[in-house]
Structure 1
Amino acid sequence: MNILLLEDDLILNEIITEYLENKDFEVTSTYDGEDALSYLFSNIYDLLLLDVNVPNINGFEILKRLRDEGITTPSIFITSLNQIDDLKKGFDVGCNDYIKKPFELEELGLRIENIKKIFNINANILQIEENITFNTQDLILNNDGIIHHLPQKEAKILIYLVNNANKIIPHEELISNVWGYEDTPSSSTLRTYIKNLRKILSDEYIQTKKGVGYSFNKK
């Protein structure tokens, strides 16, 4: 689970980051609203932990901008604000939960686990390698932090090969499972899709068995 943490209190930021990393979450921590936006528009996150009162751009404005752009990543506001108007504003701009300072780390952990259940986070993630994941719903491949949006056919080919890793998949089997009842593609069309995937993943993963088919070599 990949989390962005925005908290301008240096000590609290460090404490939360360490707690989350000890629970095997990947954490990008930042202290400034502008930096947070920069991360958010160039990376994919599963959850946002946003302090409200931070330098330059506050948490409310950050989340409003994201929602206006159609980014629906679940979010939890971390705040010392305790007025009902502040709570209402947070939910109005699209937050999914609130945690008020001061709080126990265990409470934060419970709220994160609840968000995971509600949004079924990680259920659509195909773990290809330790540093390579593929979101089968959004068709987003994350190759060591580099994001690629795959066309549907390339995505289907990748999923089938990965799910049958380390064995040779005949051309006919691959075509049948990817194209189904659609028009059968030419050999050159299939090769083009494979070539495109190799450009993204490197040649070492998808191997060709000449005259037979392809295999995905998982380490």
Structure 2
Amino acid sequence: MKILLLEDDMILNEIIEEYLLENGNDVISTTNSQEALETIYDNHFDILLLDVNVPYFNGFSLLKKLRDEKIYIPTIFMTSKSQISDIKEGFDSGCDDYLKKPFELEELNIRIKNIKRFYSIEEEFIYINEEIKYDTKNSVIIKNKEDYQLSKMETKVFEYLLKNKNRVISIKELGLNIWTYEDIPIDTTIRTYIKNLRKIVGKESIENIKGVGYKLKTA
């Protein structure tokens, strides 16, 4: 997994980073919220590990900003702020988990694996309906026993819709969560990828909610 770590305690930062690397993760560590924000804009991450009391603006504000911008990277707060009001603010800002300091590194690893279980596509085949299934290993949509090979970007768009099935996804959200901030293509390019996918699975499976976005409907 590619992980962004935000922790301003340098010793703890190094300890957590080393542990995550030893467990096979790709880690970029930061020590303040502004650096973390810029790094998130410039990279794709599978998960964010955020301290709360950090320089510039706190972790709660950082995550609220990301969620307001339709960036939905799974996030765990790691913080000494342990009051019920703090926990509520953390979840209200959009986090997926809240880990109180001090904690065991193995507990952090367990929580990361739990989030991965919810957000990753692990099944070999995912059924859209009785006639259509998706081969996750080979990026192939199988419709009535015919195979449709997806391009790299079609795969990313389709899998994002799949992870958020039955929810309306805007073009802006697709752009922010699939491409890096500087590489987001124009809206018509993203619409072209969706148009190609709709030709395969049918307009009834990827519904166009006019003026809002697209929804992948599964049985």
Residue 92 of structure 1: CA displacement?
0.6
Secondary structure, aligned partner of 1:137? helix
Q: C-alpha displacement at 1:42, in angstroms?
A: 2.1
Q: 1:153 to 1:122 in 2, by over 3 A?
A: farther
Please name the residue that 2:73 is paired with: 73
> Secondary structure at the residue paired with 1:3?
strand
Alpha carbons 2:33, 2:56 under 8 Å: kept: yes
Report 1:155-194 matches (<5 A): none
Higher relative contact order (CA 8 A, sep 6+): 2
- Deviation readout 1:80-135 (Å, 9 max, x if unpaired): 011110000000111110111111100000000000011126777989xxxx9973
Q: Calculate the aligned-residue CA RMSD, in Å.
A: 3.4
TM-score, length basis structure 1: 0.60
String of CA shifts for 1:47-77, please: whole Å, max 9, x gaps.
0000000001110000000010011111000
Q: Distance in 2 between matches of 1:104 and 1:84?
A: 21
**8 A contact 1:153–1:178 mirrored in 2:** no
Shift of 1:180: 5.8
Identity %: 49
- Contact 2:48 2:76 (8 Å CA) reproduced: yes
Aligned residue for 2:8, secondary structure, equals coil
Query: What does residue 119 of structure 1 align with?
Result: 119
Deviation at 1:43, TM superposition (A): 1.7
1:137 Cα deviation after fit: 2.3
* Cα 1:36/1:120, change in 2 over 3 Å: same
**1:107 maps to which residue?**
107
Shift of 1:152: 6.8
Matching residue's letter, 1:11: I
Distance 1:178 1:97 in 2: 35
Aligned length: 157
State whether residues 46 and 121 of structure 1, in contact with CA within 8 Å, keep that contact through their aligned partners in structure 2.
no
Kindly provide the amino acid, as one letter, of the partner of residue 107 in structure 1: E
Larger Rg: 1
Task: Tell me the residue number matched to 1:137.
Answer: 159
- Read off the aligned partner of 2:45 and give its amino acid letter: Y
Work out the CA distance in 1 between the residues paired with 2:184 and 2:194: 11
1:13 alignment partner, SS class: helix
Q: Distance in 2 between matches of 1:83 and 1:178?
A: 48
Return the TM-score normalized by structure 2. Answer: 0.60
**Distance between the aligned counterparts of 2:138 and 2:9, measured in 1?**
35
Find the counterpart in structure 1 of residue 91 from structure 2: 91
AA at the equivalent of 2:67: R
